[in-house]
């Protein structure tokens, strides 16, 4: 999902506990401070402290489970959007939901009714009719009240505004994304139920969730909400990965695949899930450098074996640059100093094809693909500081747009300084493993099926 705007209203997850009946989880899947006495603890240190605690707990839990959680995942192409979808049950008893797994955000929320009657619970203010979580039917749904410590202090220092009409009201949020998607609702703690690989069940309790009574956004077509997987104590990733070895991974099938082509979102080791990877490579996973995003240290980009002339500050976290991965962003976004040389290098061998122009509503460089052979396109390679290289297939950056039309799947992120974003199309047909404990990103080519 596109990055949330700075003014987000998020509140702290007071506690979480995990109850597993057996081994492994299975889901069906159809976003540097020097402290003085009295200074607030920076979010980065809060997350690091929670991650350390979670790793210690997970070692005990995993010794009993001896398995990883596996959540089948598929493309939302059938709905005409560039997202992926995961299916899970939430509440007690569990209610079926379909969410967008998003490493670019932290809050897990769903279209929901907190208080309603049978006459209006079937209707919700959203862009289309879909499943609706009935909070009134869940015995484990507990709102976070405005008078609670979590609402008033625990995360209030981390965000500029909270919505609290009175101490007895539930904490509310107005969560927005740069693509125009937004959700308005109340915070609660709820139970999320996982199917285990041995056929039994596991319950993740006291997960911070959002009950959104109003939401809109084209990205939500086919989805009931968003699963926040960012590096935050609030996210589903922090809870589930903490139980399963302090890591999670996913493998995205081709973005145009039908829903019958399933891949996986995995909590724990991808090896437990028998995911086939041709060759796994590793680079540093930089946590806390760009908010709760999963950042990487980039040295540069080469096209056709030639390193491009991109200013070093484009990749410098200290100067407002850098790069991160976002499973909820469709196209890869490069700031202008990187975007322009990359587009020039990739566009040069395509000059023989007739251009197709969409104006401001589509990608900048599209062309008539009659007679196109991807062998004419030079290889795009992302080089990391530690020597690792990410080499996506040509179809991940020369993408299908319409019958007989292809486009370069890159977007201009502006002059900056700002971070560049590796979107989900560029990530497709690769396994990506986010290891919190080792602060390491693993990746390698895979069929994902």
Q: Give the C-alpha separation, 226 to 2, whole Å.
A: 12
- Which of 50, 102, 224, 272 is catalytic? The answer is 102
CA distance 285 to 246: 13
- Tracing tokens 């996982």 back to the chain, one arrives at 194
Beta-strand pair 263-267/69-75: antiparallel
Tell me the DSSP string of 112-135: EESS--TTTTT--BSSS----EEG
For β-strands 225-228 and 95-102, DSSP reports them as parallel
DSSP 180-208: S-EEEEEEEEEEEEEE-TTS-EEEEEEEE
418 part of the active site: no
State the catalytic residue, choosing from 50, 224, 254, 326: 326
Q: Where are the alpha helices (DSSP H) in 257-393?
A: 336-347
What distance in Å separates the CA atoms of residue 54 and residue 34, rounded to the nearest whole number?
25
Q: What angle do CA 188, 189, 195 make, to 5 degrees?
A: 130
Alpha-carbon dihedral angle through residues 289, 294, 297, 303, given to the nearest 10 degrees: -140
Joined tokens for residue 258: 């039908």
| 326 in catalytic set | yes
d(CA 384, CA 323): 11
The residues annotated with a catalytic role in the active site are 102, 326
């Amino acid at each position: 999902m596109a990055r949330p705007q700075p003014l987000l209203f998020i509140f702290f997850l007071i506690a979480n506990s995990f109850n597993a009946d057996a081994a492994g989880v299975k889901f069906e899947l159809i976003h540097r401070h020097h402290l003085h006495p009295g200074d607030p603890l920076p979010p980065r240190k809060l997350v690091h402290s929670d991650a350390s605690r979670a790793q210690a707990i997970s070692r005990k839990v995993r010794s009993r489970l001896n398995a990883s959680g596996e959540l089948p995942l598929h493309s939302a192409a059938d709905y005409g959007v560039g997202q992926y979808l995961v299916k899970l049950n939430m509440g007690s008893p569990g209610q079926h939901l379909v969410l967008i797994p998003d490493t670019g955000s932290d809050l897990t929320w769903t279209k929901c009714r907190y208080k309603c009657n049978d006459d209006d619970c079937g209707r919700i203010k959203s862009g289309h009719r879909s499943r609706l979580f009935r909070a009134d039917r869940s015995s484990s749904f507990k709102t976070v009240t405005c008078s609670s410590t979590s609402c008033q202090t625990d995360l209030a220092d981390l965000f500029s505004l909270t919505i609290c009409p009175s101490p007895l009201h539930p904490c509310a949020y107005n969560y927005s994304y740069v693509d125009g998607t937004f959700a308005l609702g109340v915070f609660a703690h709820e139970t999320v139920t996982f199917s285990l690989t041995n056929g039994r069940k596991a319950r993740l309790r006291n997960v911070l969730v959002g009950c959104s009574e109003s939401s809109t956004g084209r990205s939500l077509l086919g989805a009931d909400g968003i699963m926040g997987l960012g590096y935050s104590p609030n996210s589903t990733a922090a809870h589930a990965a903490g139980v399963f070895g302090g890591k999670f991974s996913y493998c995205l099938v081709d973005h145009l695949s039908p829903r019958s082509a399933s891949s996986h979102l995995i909590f724990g080791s991808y090896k437990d899930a028998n995911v086939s990877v041709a060759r796994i490579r590793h680079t540093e996973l930089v946590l806390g450098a760009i908010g709760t995003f999963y950042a990487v240290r980039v040295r540069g980009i080469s096209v056709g074996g030639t390193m491009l002339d991109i200013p070093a500050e484009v990749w410098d976290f200290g100067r407002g640059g850098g790069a991160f991965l976002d499973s909820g962003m469709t196209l890869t976004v490069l700031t202008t100093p990187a975007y322009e040389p990359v587009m020039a290098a990739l566009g040069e061998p395509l000059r023989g094809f007739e251009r197709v122009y969409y104006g401001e509503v589509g990608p900048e460089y599209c062309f008539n693909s009659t007679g196109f052979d991807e062998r004419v396109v030079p290889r795009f390679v992302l080089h990391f500081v530690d020597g690792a290289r990410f080499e996506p297939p040509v179809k991940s950056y020369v993408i299908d747009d319409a019958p007989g039309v292809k486009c370069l799947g890159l977007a201009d992120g502006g002059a900056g300084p700002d971070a560049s974003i590796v979107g989900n199309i560029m990530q497709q047909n690769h396994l990506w493993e986010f290891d919190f404990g080792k602060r390491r990103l693993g990746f390698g080519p895979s069929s994902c099926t």
